[in-house]
Amino acid sequence: MTGGPGGEPVIRLSSAAFTYRGPPPVAALKPTSMVIYRGEHVAITGPSGSGKSTLLNLLGLLDKPTQGSIEIDGIDVGAAPERERAAVRAHRIGFVFQSFHLLPYRTSIENVMLAQVYADEPRRRRYASAMAALAEVGLDHRAHALPTALSGGERQRVAIARALVNRPSLLMCDEPTGNLDTATTLELTDLLGSLHRAGTTLVVITHNPVVASRAQRQIAIRDGELAETPQPATGSPGPSPGTGSPGPSPGTGSPGPPPALPEALPPADRAHGDEDTHAFPDE
């Protein structure tokens, strides 16, 4: 089952724009209206500096639109107080970043359990649900390994388990395969495909045309403006293994150099800065 127009909206942007104050001000996202429906798999592509991370920061409630509104699950979160935004972020959005952002001296399962602290999951339930999330990404057998003992692909699987453990409405990935080799990228892309088929709503920002081609919808962004790439009207139920023919969309552009600006911080760090300081669970 895949989502789509007619389904339930997970995210709705209404003329949402974002301008970095500067000086000088940078209009990084022009007024944008779009809806992401439950069960969709959306890829966002665009050259470096085009506004991808800015858009992700809005969709992930890490920043507020400087204009317009954003709703998640029907909740108007653009104007909500920071405490409420942090709660929506912790419960409804899972983040996966290019550089994994795992705590180096914590095992896989401890890293996953950390996300549950932010979502106020009762301690006695954390272990079992963290283990279940690791099983979902095929890594329960590495639950007690430190990140340094894992390959890049395995680290990203732990990060995905951490993003999924609170059963978010939306899984948001910013260049999830950016640090992975080609074979591992394909494995990760297959994993994202299977999570999508199991009902996860996915937004994937990527420079990689193969990764983007697995999505049902491709949105190109250039100079802060979105353009949807028309998809073949086959009603095909999303990605299937082996159909990953690269189809670079117009406007995807060349990958270019890595962005000069820092990527968004992991949600834990941001929440940390804004709100009460949670210590790591002592057990």
Interface residues with ligand ADP (CB under 6 A) are: 20, 26, 28, 46, 48-54, 259, 261
Q: Which of ligand ADP, Mg ion, none sits in contact with 210, Cβ below 5 to 8 A by type? A: none
CB of 200 to ligand ADP, least distance (A): 23
Packing angle between helix 152-164 and helix 108-118, nearest 10 degrees?
Answer: 30
Complex with Mg ion: residue 45 or 107, whichever CB lies closer? 45
CB of 228 to ligand ADP, least distance (A): 17
Q: Is 138 in the site for Mg ion (CB under 5 A)?
A: no
| Positive/negative CA dihedral, 194, 197, 200, 201 | positive
Complex with Mg ion: residue 41 or 52, whichever CB lies closer? 52
Q: Residue 51's closest CA among 42, 39, 59?
A: 59
**Span from 53-61, 84-92, 115-123, 218-226 in contact with Mg ion (CB under 5 A):** 53-61
Complex with Mg ion: residue 57 or 166, whichever CB lies closer? 57
Please confirm whether the linkage preceding 23 is cis (ω < 30° from 0): yes
Token representation of residue 217:
């919808």
CB of 62 to Mg ion, least distance (A): 12
Q: Which of Mg ion, ligand ADP, none sits in contact with 46, Cβ below 5 to 8 A by type? A: ligand ADP
**Span from 63-71, 165-173, 210-218, 255-263 in contact with Mg ion (CB under 5 A):** 255-263
Task: Kindly report the number of other CB atoms within 10 A of residue 50's CB atom.
Answer: 25
Complex with Mg ion: residue 52 or 196, whichever CB lies closer? 52
Q: Is 53 in the site for Mg ion (CB under 5 A)?
A: yes
CB of 192 to ligand ADP, least distance (A): 19
- Distance, CA of 162 to CA of 133 (rounded, Å): 7
Q: Is 50 in the site for Mg ion (CB under 5 A)?
A: no
Interface residue with Mg ion, options 73, 259, 265, 281 (CB under 5 A): 259
Q: What are phi and psi of 168, to 5 degrees?
A: -70, 160
How does strand 202-205 pair with strand 170-174?
parallel
Residues near 123 by beta carbon (within 8 Å), at least 6 away in sequence: 281, 283
What are the CA-CA distances from residue 276 to residues 62, 86, 168, 264, 279 (Å)?
16, 10, 21, 20, 10
Residues that bind Mg ion (CB under 5 A): 52-53, 259
